[in-house]
Structure 1
Amino acid sequence: MDLGECPKIHDLALRADYELASKTKDYFYDIDATEHLEAFIADCDRRTTAAKQRLAETQEELSAEVTEKANAVHELAEQIGQKLARAEALGEEGMVEESVKLMGEIDELRKKKAVAEQEYRNSMPASSYQQQKLRVCEVCSAYLGIHDNDRRLADHFGGKLHLGFITIREKLAELKKTVDKRREERGASERERTGGRRHYTQPLSQQKQTRSRSHRSSSKERRRD
């Protein structure tokens, strides 16, 4: 999912100014951030649902038994990919012992995956087995194949796109815990600022009508003069 270049200004000096200003005034930007991330994740989830629907329409339909076996292979493959990406990251950070421990877990998962693949292969014709069976990543909506190797899966689960979506989802979950309270605080702040008066913004259509009437009135006065 490519959103293009961010329209916001990313400047460390401005960030420092904001952090300084936010010490004396609450701008409630966390509420705006929550709403923005909610819209972003909702769009991603819609893409995931649409991708699943496309796969259901285009891929050969399997029996419930074969589908269960295919899902078992997928799940083991994803676990291997996730752990392999994590092991590589730990190795780069110098945490060799933890990385080696994860590699041991990966070896065990590979054995289980080999058994699951054999069961899946034996449950269907050879011609059908060769076809790539896809599923959709629940985190970032990317396609994953049942025949993807460990390297391909590790690149996916350790990639910037997938990890970025994890970060966004975790941040959104964190913001949602306080957003209702923060909205109440913002409402109270606005009421205090306006002296308890409701701030009314005239709809755009009414604004145009008002300007039009004002313009006609001014034109009549000029003609009378």
Structure 2
Amino acid sequence: MVQCMFASLHLQGSCRKASCSSSRDESRQRVKFTDERVCKSHLLNCCPHDILSGTRMDLGECSKIHDLALRADYEISSKERDLFFELDAVDHLESFIADCDRRTELAKKRLVETQEEISAEVAAKAEKVHALNEEIGKLLAKAEQLGAEGNVDEAQTVLQEVERVRTKKKDAEEEYRNSMPASSFQQQKLRVCEVCSAYLGLHDNDRRLADHFGGKLHLGFIQIREKLELLKKTVQDKQERRNQERLKRREEREREERMKKRTKSRSRERKRSRSRDRDRERRRRRSRSASREKRRSHSRSKERDRRRRHRSRSRSRSRHSREHSHKSSRDRDHERESKRSPSERRSDGLNGRTESRRHDDREAGEI
């Protein structure tokens, strides 16, 4: 009976988990990688929640959506256009590294408060021992990594370098031991790691140092810091490229505006030249019409003068012809009168006077 109850409870729990997972999958299917709820650091493979998972400083689940399918979509789209998700990732990693640096400073203050004060010379010698310990740990971690990858010869070369550094460390420890009392030397002197803010001992053995510097926590912080520097450089390069593109577009716009102004000025100049040509043509036409009118008036005046002269000539000719005919008629009458008798002359004289008077009166009326 109890087994049946546990089985039913187990089935209910599994059904709830399946329903929750199915609802999450459905919600993620509806979300795109450009959504604000998606972690941009996860898309760029640098989220601290992913890198430090399973370490002493495991941050748990990220508050934003992590999905490998969305990362694949982003990688495909980022090849076609710049989305500038690096800005969000830089802000995220900078805030995380700032918190880590604050923890490092607090740890250093605690060590200063808890450990005995030593002189500057002794502190420098202790710092030299710590630096050699750090170098040995890094070399051992590198040798282990090369051995795991199958590069045996390179790993042997690194181990030889480790032996040389160990010799330097022994000399440094001897100097440090001779510079302070034996009771103080036996105390564990600690140091804070500048990368991951973990505590390192002055007398840690090689295995402890290799585990620290080759561990996931230390390497994860190194990866985060390197990724942050790389993202900063990428953002700077993209901003410079964008600024150059903006400057280029601005120069193109200014060039287009200058071209438009030139075309406008040319069109205005053409219009002005056309208007000047039209005005010049109008003046020419006016001058031509004025010259024609002047020639016409001059010809009219010449024609009038010619007609006037012709009339005066015709009048003078008619008058002369009349006078000549009058003289010839008088001469003929005088001859006839001389041939006639005195009695006829007297009678004709009276008639002639009356006729001559009538003739004179007629000529005077015509004139």
Measured against the shorter chain, the TM-score band is: 0.7 to 0.9
- The corresponding residue for 2:44 is none
Structure 1, unaligned stretches of length 5 or more?
190-225
User: Which 4+ runs in 1 deviate beyond 6 A?
Assistant: none
Q: Does 1:80 align with 2:136?
A: yes
- Alignment deviations for residues 63-102 of structure 1 (CA, whole Å, 9 cap, x no partner): 1111111111111111101100100110110000000001
Partner SS for 2:65: coil
Under a length normalisation based on structure 1, what TM-score does the superposition of the two structures give?
0.77
Q: Determine the structure 2 residue equivalent to 1:125.
A: 181
SS across alignment from 1:105? helix
The structure with the largest helix share of the pair is 2
Aligned residue pairs: how many?
A: 188
Relative contact order higher in (CA < 8 Å, ≥ 6 apart): 1
2:108 corresponds, among 43, 52, 55, to: 52
Query: Partner residue of 2:221?
Result: 165
1:13 and 2:51 are equivalent in the alignment: no
Distance 2:162 2:79 in 1: 48
Task: Tell me what 2:284 maps to.
Answer: none
Q: Report the CA distance shift for 1:115/1:8 in structure 2 as closer, same or farther (over 3 A).
A: same
Q: Which runs of 5+ in 2 are unaligned?
A: 1-56, 247-367
Contact (CA 8 Å) 1:31, 1:182: kept in 2 or not? no
User: 1:90-145, CA deviations, whole angstroms, 9 ceiling, x for partnerless residues?
Assistant: 01100000000010010111111111111111111111111111111111111101
Please give the alpha-carbon distance, in whole angstroms, between the structure 2 residues aligned to 1:151 and 1:161. 16
8 Å CA contact 1:76–1:113 kept in 2: the answer is yes
Percentage of identical aligned residues: 69
Aligned partner of 1:200 in structure 2 is none
Is 1:71 the equivalent of 2:127? yes
Note the 1:168-183 alignment, pairs <5 A: 168-180=224-236, 182=238
1:6 Cα deviation after fit: 2.2
- 1:62 aligned to 2:118? yes
The root-mean-square deviation of aligned C-alpha atoms, in Å, is 2.0
Name the amino acid aligned to 2:172. A
Counterpart for residue 143 of structure 1: 199
CA-to-aligned-CA distance 1:142-198 (integer Å, 9 cap, x gap): 110101111001000001111011111111111112424646859x99xxxxxxxxx
Q: 2: distance between equivalents of 1:129 and 1:154?
A: 23
